Amino acid sequence: MLRQSQAVALSLVLGITGSVLDFYSGYQISQSDMMLPGMGITHAEYNPPSLAWGIGILVLGAAVLATPLLGATSFGRQRMRLFGSLMVSYGVLMLLVGVSMYAGMTPIMQGASLSGLAMLVVGVLMTLSGGLMVLPRLATSPPGVDHKWV
């Protein structure tokens, strides 16, 4: 069974990987449809939908990074189920964003399909990791014994 230190290490790796993916994708999307000066435009203008998608994914990246970092502290270790629930939520959000990117529903960016597939993989792993942190140990124990992380 997964020990608490292993669960924390796994969530750290997934959080860092997911946040790097989100930061890259958010930056690429927010910069992708920028209209450059020329053709009647006097200064660079952002495309509002691209900017909204980019900022949303950047915020998700910040949350995905902050959660496992805070979960690795003593505060987080005492609230493992809360942080596991957050990891499940962020994993589901990354799945939705990954599907949207892979299906072409997000603004155009370079490498959208590859980033979408990577987000799908990280989203599935985050959901599974968070689910393991939420569930009590499945080891058999005498009645009345609380199932806490060892």
The secondary structure of the chain in percent helix, strand, coil, rounded to multiples of 5, reads 70, 5, 25
State yes or no: pLDDT of 141 exceeds 60. Answer: no
| Higher-pLDDT residue of 142, 92 | 92
Task: Indicate the helix (H) or strand (E) that contains 136.
Answer: none
Tens digit of each residue's pLDDT (9 = 90 or more) over 77-128? 788 888 888 999 999 999 999 898 888 787 766 677 888 899 999 999 999 8
- Return the percentage of the chain with pLDDT > 70, whole number: 75
State yes or no: pLDDT of 147 exceeds 80. Answer: no
State yes or no: pLDDT of 142 exceeds 80. Answer: no
Report which of 126, 141, 140, 135 is spatially closest to residue 149, judged by C-alpha positions.
135
pLDDT, mean over the chain: 78
Domain ranges of the chain: 4-37+45-134
For the segment 46-66, the average pLDDT, to the nearest whole number, is 87
Task: For 65-111, give the DSSP string.
Answer: HHHHHHHTSHHHHHTHHHHHHHHHHHHHHHHHHHHHHHHT-SPP-TT
What's at 143, amino acid-wise? P
Tens digit of each residue's pLDDT (9 = 90 or more) over 36-49? 555 555 555 667 77
Six-digit token string for 42: 């006097």
